[in-house]
Amino acid sequence: MAQYSRIEVASVMKETGMVPLFYHPDVELGKKVLKACYDGGARLLEYTARGDFAFEVFSDLNKYALKELPGMIMGVGSITDGAAASMFMQMGANFIVTPSLREDIAIVCNRRKVLWSPGCGSLTEINKAEEMGCEIVKLFPGDLYGPGFVKAIKGPQPWTSVMPTGGVSTEEANLKAWFDAGVTCVGMGSKLISKEILNKKDFDGLETLVRATLKTIAKIRN
């Protein structure tokens, strides 16, 4: 069962401004990535469940976070149906992220008051997601829409909270463009947790990069 309500998760997303995204089938490597992100100041991590037996890896990582990393909020991404969302929530997922807008996922998450963030690509989809109780909309793929899209929809809908995923990097200019446009937070995968870092097992470097990126986000916001 989730340890954090959807309001608590949304608040941490807004406070920290960044959700690292990560997938790897190796549990022990995953623990080191998770700890590096945590030590760098991240308090959320989206495990993108894209491989066979990903549920087993997530279960172990979430147990590790609960035992060793107080305050670390684990969620799951790349969820494509309500059944998968239910399964991961039974393993303690605190938020569910999807590549598209699906009502079956909204229903099972709302039933348990777990935050769900659907991938949306139009104002119509965003409005529908909010009608179904969505707190933070995932703009996906972010690189195809860009900060200009966020700025445009925030004009008539200043209440809309957006998290772009894809097209977000650790560079200050990139982050500034997104946050100046009005995003609530950003989802960051390979630009943060790169293949190079994983291949070299440079977890100290990852911790440093996470800390620097969060510092940059705080600077931009201030």
Q: How many domains does the chain have?
A: 1
Per DSSP bridges, beta strands 186-188 and 44-48 are unpaired
Q: Quick check: is 221 in a domain?
A: no
Q: Quick check: is 1 in a domain?
A: no
Question: In CATH, what number is assigned to the domain containing residue 151?
Answer: 3.20.20.70
Give the Å distances, CA to CA, from 54 to 73, 85, 181: 18, 13, 35
Q: Quick check: is 152 in a domain?
A: yes
Sign of CA dihedral 146, 10, 126, 22: positive
How does pLDDT run along the chain (222 residues), one tens digit per residue? Answer: 999 999 999 999 999 999 999 999 999 999 999 999 999 999 999 999 999 999 999 999 999 999 999 999 999 999 999 999 999 999 999 999 999 999 999 999 999 999 999 999 999 999 999 999 999 999 999 999 999 999 999 999 999 999 999 989 999 999 999 999 999 999 999 999 999 999 999 999 999 999 999 999 999 999
- Which phi and psi angles does 188 have, rounded to 5°? -135, 120
Range of the domain at 64: 6-216
Q: Quick check: is 204 in a domain?
A: yes
Distance CA 89, CA 158 (A): 31
Q: DSSP code of 92?
A: T
